[in-house]
Structure 1
């Protein structure tokens, strides 16, 4: 979940330099930034159903559906106003955690990193941490065991130092070494409060025909959860992540039956990948519907919407995304199988400008998370 929108683990943040850490400490130290000092107290209540969201900065949070949100993972700049407001709604606000898996093989480095995160959470009045590590790990390697230890030790430290705090970890859409991330998934799930399953960017490695496909195909997505549960992971430890963004692919050829051939761009061993496309938030994709050649189409096999258009140079494009129809189908699985909850990458992808059309589209996306 990196860059403008997400996915792929293509950029990394490691240990904060001392000067940067000192700046963070100053920002969060001293008097409580909230008008009501009680709002700086940690959120300790646990709700039955988790709606876990990622905020990447700005002030969109003022327009979120706060009747649903239980946790906000802050992947943008620290905003004390967001923390105060979320706490007023009974919602947790948690840090983003990332560190080099090679570095944490050293227990001393692990301990220093964990202490740094706990201190930062305390000084910013946060309620825990979401560990987002999407780096390559070889099964049964030193890094494999060190990563599991990091999750366990981070959870123990946060629970001790900030009672009621929450530690979560982001995992791939299926446990089968996606993007060479061969993690100890059962050990990690056991070691933290729950895991957030990144059920998107599922075309990061395409081993078959190089064509445009859904970002998160229905059957493929749900098969990933079936595999995690079959491994012995408690469904109450799984939060389903869904995408509020899509991929725009330039077609080398677009057939009459809507098959879009794409450039062969390899990724982590696979000959093709979604790197052939460009990520766009839902609000931008919706703006393109009226000028498209097709309007919104529906692929019944993948249970996903898409549209087609021609650009100014005459090239055909195919855009795959998720909308309330496709999200509701996946959300139904969450309830039917007793998962811990649902969430999205990322909450800033909707149009919060307040226009009637935008407002209707935005409300429908939020409501799709928890269908009746």
Structure 2
């Protein structure tokens, strides 16, 4: 099947799909200039990218439908646009399948005038398994192919907030980091496995987040390959009980060996959170232990909810590590979920979130 896909991807390119859609042919050339500080933005589609702070953006990972207008505009600002890459690991144990998949992605990137690929593979892997070695080989071979076929291209790989087999993702992080250009560390969803009390907690507590980076550095991962990922969303947890001390007990939703998880809540974008906190029963609260904001509210059925999220104050505390540790940069999931409307309050909130990426 993969060989069939590669065949048609090649035909697609040959038959004129590589006609530059930009006003200038120069804008269809790959972006190869490296900036000192990376700001890596995941974009899931739509046109909100028109309101991004393009003075900061260096890479856009296009996780939505291909948008030629976005590619042209990003290139005009000197920013890369990279593909999303994901495949079942069982499919790539076979060398021929790996090669076919990589060839398809390279051809697709060329036909769309893109600048690389972001490998977003978040599957369970047992250390020493065939999938363990196949994943490492995939990253190495993908990087070699993209660098060869698209000079100056970028290959990044998304990793969990810690290399300690989070969510049973037991990868060869050292070898993967050596192979690719960037490791995007997803410092969020840190409650995906709750081993203690089933209670609502911060999406990315500061101390827990920083401990994950120290663990990567202990592995001698090159800090210039690390991009810190921060969340522009939070979790809304229905409380089974909200104690007088403000502790929200949540439903037991197991995940990959843990009895509880953040799946007991629902992800909410920052734009929703800012509207909800203003009408909440508690207003914005601050947890001194987790160094994160939260609030409580009662829904129309009378049930109490607790919402944990990140805002400029909590993000600044993390962004400070980027320069201190000499990391390559910072990024977020995802760029689309701020409020880019003309509302003056929303506009100010959005500006502050972008500026928080620079640190305090």
TM-score band w.r.t. shorter chain: over 0.9
Q: 1:28, 1:124 within 8 Å by CA — same for their partners in 2?
A: no
Cα deviation, residue 21, structure 1:
6.2
What is the root-mean-square deviation in Å for CA atoms of aligned residues?
1.8
* Corresponding residue of 2:168: 180
Q: Which moved further from structure 2: 305-314 or 27-36?
A: 27-36
SS at match of 1:148: helix
- 2:48 aligns with 60
Provide closer, same or farther for how the CA distance between residues 315 and 164 of structure 1 changes in structure 2, counting only shifts above 3 A. Answer: same
**Which of 235, 253, 261 is residue 249 of structure 2 equivalent to?**
261
Distance 2:136 2:333 in 1: 24
Q: Residue 246 of structure 1: CA displacement?
A: 0.4
Which residue of 1 is the match for residue 231 of structure 2? 243
Equivalent of residue 303 in structure 1, options 285, 288, 291: 291
* Number of the residue aligned with 2:140: 152
Identify the residue that residue 212 of structure 1 maps to in structure 2. Answer: 200
Conserved? CA contact 1:303–1:326, under 8 Å: yes
Alpha-carbon contact 1:15-1:99 (below 8 Å) kept: no
Against the structure 1 CA distance between its residues 20 and 95, is the aligned structure 2 distance closer, same or farther, given a 3 Å change threshold? farther
Distance 2:161 2:3 in 1: 28
Q: Cα deviation per residue 1:172-193 (whole Å; 9 max; x = unaligned)?
A: 0001111110000000000000
Contact preservation (8 Å) 1:102, 1:143? yes
Pair 1:366–1:292, CA change in 2 (3 A): same
1:148-186 alpha-carbon deviations (Å, 9 max, x no partner)? 000000000000000000000000000111111000000
TM-score by length of 1: 0.94
CA distance in 2, matches of 1:251, 1:139: 37
Deviations 1:75-114, CA, capped at 9 Å, x for gaps: 0000000000000000000000001111111000000000
Shift, 1:221, TM fit: 0.3
State the match for 2:269 in structure 1. Answer: 281
Q: Identify if the C-alpha distance between structure 1 residues 126 and 24 changes in structure 2 by more than 3 Å, giving closer, same or farther.
A: farther
Q: Find the partner of 1:355 among 338, 343, 359.
A: 343
1:201 aligns with 2:182: no
Give unpaired runs (5+ residues) of structure 2. none
Deviations 1:174-230 (A, max 9, x none): 011111100000000000001000000000000000000000000000000000000
1:135 to 120, 123, 127: 123
Among 200, 207, 217, the alignment partner of 1:229 is 217
Q: How far apart are residue 371 of structure 1 and its match?
A: 2.5
CA shift at 1:37, angstroms?
Answer: 1.1
- Kept after mapping to 1: 8 A contact 2:6/2:103: no
Contact 2:81–2:116, Cα closer than 8 Å, also in 1: yes
Count of paired positions: 359
Instruction: Report the CA distance shift for 1:117/1:213 in structure 2 as closer, same or farther (over 3 A).
Output: same
Counterpart position of 1:40: 28
Secondary structure of 1:105's counterpart equals: coil
